[in-house]
Amino acid sequence: MNESLPVVIDNLGKRFGPRVVLDGVSLAVAAHETVAIIGPSGGGKSTLLRCVNGLAGFDQGQIRVGPYTLGPGTNHQRASGVRHVRRLLGMIFQDFQLFPHLTALENVIEAPLHVLKQPRAQARRRGLELLARVGLADRAEAHPRELSGGQKQRVAIARALAMDPRGLLCDEITSALDPELKSEVLTVLEALKRDGLTLLVVTHEMGFARRAADRVVVLDEGRIIEDGPPGQVLDHPQMPRTQRFLSQVLA
């Protein structure tokens, strides 16, 4: 499994009270593959990612990440599978969620130090490398409040990479950014794809989906209504709902 990390989502169902959020979602992601998940808001995109990471439980179906399986139930946080899955898949949030009391570098090395128990010198060296990789070598000692949104998001990416994941779950990671700052984050993401990380990207950036994604998936009302290469889904959508959605986004 070393080189391959298939993520298999099988017939996933979840409801909040009477509202069905995920309605039998099945999705297989191959190793090194980049999948863009698009669709109208409220369609269940973020919930799907949070289920994969164990931040949210679900009511039916299962999720396999490499050798580990997550089953239904609300006590997901405690299931031992969740811990393993989180080691394999990092997560980036729309609102960054950097730790405000720590510097950029401290944010990056917090988990390596206290979860992986790495020696401080080693964690620092690796942390500085990662910050350099996202273009922030000179901001290592800055606190989050001193960073721009784009810089914050790049620190968050470095922080996730510090745990050496095989893949990243990206939840609308450019939505909170000004247009001119979006590209610096997306550029980093494209570089990660070239490095072979498996990426599940919930996004509204159609340009990025077209450029970087191997596959585009449209999630609407808790169901996958379209799934194929970007050229096909974005230029020749089959479903009327997809067409309407795309015309709104691209307008």
Which residues of this chain interact with other proteins, rule CB under 8 A? 53-55, 77, 83, 86-87, 90-91, 93, 95, 97-101, 110-111, 114-115, 144-145, 156, 159-160, 163
Quote the least distance from Cβ 166 to other proteins, whole Å: 14
Nearest to 151 by CA among 179, 125, 184, 124: 184
Is beta strand 89-92 parallel, antiparallel or unpaired with respect to 167-171?
parallel
CB burial of residue 135 (10 Å; 0-12, 13-18, 19+): middle
Question: What's the min distance (Å) between Cβ of 84 and other proteins?
Answer: 9
Q: What does the alpha-carbon distance between residue 134 and residue 150 come to, in Å, rounded to a whole number?
A: 10
**Cβ nearer to other proteins, comparing 11 with 77:** 77
Smallest gap from residue 232 Cβ to other proteins (A): 32
Q: Which is nearer to other proteins, 202 or 233 (CB)?
A: 202
Q: Which is nearer to other proteins, 126 or 215 (CB)?
A: 126
* CA 109 to chain CA mean position, Å: 20
Q: Which amino acid is at 11?
A: N
Cα distance between the two ends of the chain: 43
Smallest separation (angstroms) from other proteins to the CB of 172: 13
Whichever of 115 and 239 has its CB closer to other proteins, that residue is 115
Strand spans (E) along 93-222 = 167-171, 198-202, 215-220
CB-wise, 108 or 246, nearer to other proteins?
108
Smallest separation (angstroms) from other proteins to the CB of 114: 6
